Amino acid sequence: MLLFLPELIILISALILFLVSLGTPSEKTLRNIVLCLTGLLLLVTLTCINNKGTLFFAAYQIDLYSQLFKLLIAAATFIVIVFSGNTPGIGQRIRAEYYMFLFTGLLGLMMLVSSVELLAIFISLELSSFALYIMVPMRQSSGAHDYHLESGIKYLLFGVMATGFMLFGMSYLFGLTGSTYLKDIIPSISYLYNQPAAVTGIIMVMAGFFYKLGLFPFHFWVPDIYEGAANETTSFVAAIPKLAAVALLIRLLAMVSVDGQILVNLLLLCSICSMFYGNLSALAQKDVKRILGYSGISHAGFILFGLLTFNLEGYSNALYYTIGYAAMTLTCFLTICAATPNGNNLKLEDLKGLHGRSPLLALTFALGLFSLAGIPPFVGFTGKLMILINAFKQGYVVPVILAALNTAIAIYYYLSMVRLAYCSDDSKESVMVSDGWSNKSLALLLVLFIITMGIFPTWFLDMAATVIGATV
């Protein structure tokens, strides 16, 4: 029972919110309830971090690896909940339902990182996706943006396609190995991975996670959903499912190794393509959330690149980079949410003169962007450096050069946003920024975290290595 405590807490929270949604709670009560529940969840995941064991006939594995990811997911959710304030993007009438979906999606993601059986993985992935499919079109209509329904449908259609691929791939794996448990599949697939059938199966299974991560062939949804969904939903989508997807990718990549040349080359192609695609498309955008979406695609490429070295160092680099990425994006989205108290989208020109309206937020935003761009001493720089060095050691010379080139391209659009925030005057119709104490302290916390991770990577990398080494 204790092993399952975090999931139980989320489940109960979701049900509580379901009951709350039957009544008409005031804005404040609802927010307090949600904050309490998320805080409780964070505490529980923290206390459960050393749990070990298996549940449900070994389909559900609880170890340091899964618990760490659960803690990260819970912490990221807590941050999103705190800075999304009163969720201005969501209509008052359906806010309780919105939180209910948020919690069920969270439940899916938490179960995902612990699942070690194909069907359990599939169903938990679907649970998280379904909740998000519904959260995206739940944005309140207003004149400024009226495409949330469109983006909801797009998200659903791409999601269903990715799911279809994944199920098809799972059927291949099941057919080839006769088992749905990863622990049985991995040894029996290990001498098959150059066979076309196995390659097809593995690639297709990964497609589902590529979709969650927004990687190259499955990236089409990213910009539209980032733009169409409410700011709070986008923050959630941008950071949290990616953590879970990386957790599962690391587990699944155990199926492949460096010898599986076809597969490695294919994945390498995906990773490089998504870097180029994301960075080049971001250059022409006008909407801040869209830019961050494209930048997310390229960062996902980096994460995959880190994984492709197939050694412990590469995995821990990727994990380190993912944690850093989540922190950096959350920093940027914190600013976006704070700069749009009316729940509208943030255009590039809305950034003008941000330093005058709220110096602390402008600084936070700038530091987050610096970090995303990969400027020392932030985590973005250290992470990229580690990944590139490790890949270079493994002999990936050309890909490393291409990746480095991408970093250079990316600097342009990140810094142009910083320039707008700092080196231009206030535009006339700019909205006031909501920077209450909670947002301010959260911003400080995140910035500190980014800098600490960037300057002292050794502790984090060692931790990542121990955690992953115990699992893979």
Taken as a whole, the chain contains a residue count of: 472
Stretch that binds another protein, among 23-31, 95-103, 287-295, 347-355 (CB under 8 A): 95-103
147: contact with another protein by CB under 8 A: no
Q: Where are the alpha helices (DSSP H) in 178-286?
A: 182-189, 196-213, 221-228, 231-253, 261-282
54: contact with another protein by CB under 8 A: no
Nearer of residues 200 and 416 to another protein, judged by Cβ = 200
Site for another protein (CB under 8 A): which residue of 91, 341, 353, 356? 91
Q: Which amino acid does the sequence have at 239?
A: A
Nearer of residues 152 and 296 to another protein, judged by Cβ = 152
Nearer of residues 162 and 300 to another protein, judged by Cβ = 162
Tell me the number of residues near another protein by CB under 8 A. Answer: 43
Distances (CA, A) of 177 to 57, 122, 289: 19, 18, 43
163: contact with another protein by CB under 8 A: no
Handedness of CA 197, 199, 204, 209 (dihedral sign): positive
Comparing CA positions, the residue from 346, 388, 386, 365 lying closest to residue 450 is 365
Nearer of residues 183 and 286 to another protein, judged by Cβ = 183
CA pair distance 91, 87, nearest whole angstrom: 8
Site for another protein (CB under 8 A): which residue of 65, 83, 101, 365? 101
59: contact with another protein by CB under 8 A: yes
117: contact with another protein by CB under 8 A: yes
Q: How far is the CB of 42 from another protein (least distance, A)?
A: 21
Contact pattern from residue 229 through residue 258 relative to another protein, giving x for each residue in contact according to CB under 8 A and a dash for the rest:
------------------------------
Stretch that binds another protein, among 75-83, 90-98, 298-306, 355-363 (CB under 8 A): 90-98
Nearer of residues 67 and 180 to another protein, judged by Cβ = 180
273 - beta bridge partners? none
Contact pattern from residue 126 through residue 145 relative to another protein, giving x for each residue in contact according to CB under 8 A and a dash for the rest:
xx--xx-xx--xx--x----
200: contact with another protein by CB under 8 A: yes
Crossing angle of helices 457-471 and 379-393, rounded to 10°? 50
Contact pattern from residue 12 through residue 41 relative to another protein, giving x for each residue in contact according to CB under 8 A and a dash for the rest:
--x---x-----------------------
CB 362 within 8 A of CB 423: no
Tokens of 286: 């006008």
SS3 call for 26: coil
97: contact with another protein by CB under 8 A: yes
DSSP 277-337: HHHHHHTT--BHHHHHHHHHHHHHHHHHHHHTT-SHHHHHHHHHHHHHHHHHHHHHHHHHH
Beta carbons within 8 Å of 391's beta carbon, 6+ residues apart? 305, 306, 308, 309, 314, 399, 400, 403
Q: How far is the CB of 172 from another protein (least distance, A)?
A: 9
120: contact with another protein by CB under 8 A: yes
Residue 57 burial by Cβ neighbours in a 10 Å radius (0-12, 13-18, 19+) = exposed
Comparing CA positions, the residue from 168, 159, 261, 164 lying closest to residue 213 is 159
Q: How far is the CB of 23 from another protein (least distance, A)?
A: 15
Nearer of residues 87 and 104 to another protein, judged by Cβ = 104
Catalog residues that contact another protein under the rule CB under 8 A.
Answer: 11, 14, 18, 55-57, 59-60, 91, 93-94, 97, 100-101, 104, 107-108, 111, 115, 117, 119-120, 122-124, 126-127, 130-131, 133-134, 137-138, 141, 176, 178, 180-181, 192, 195-197, 200
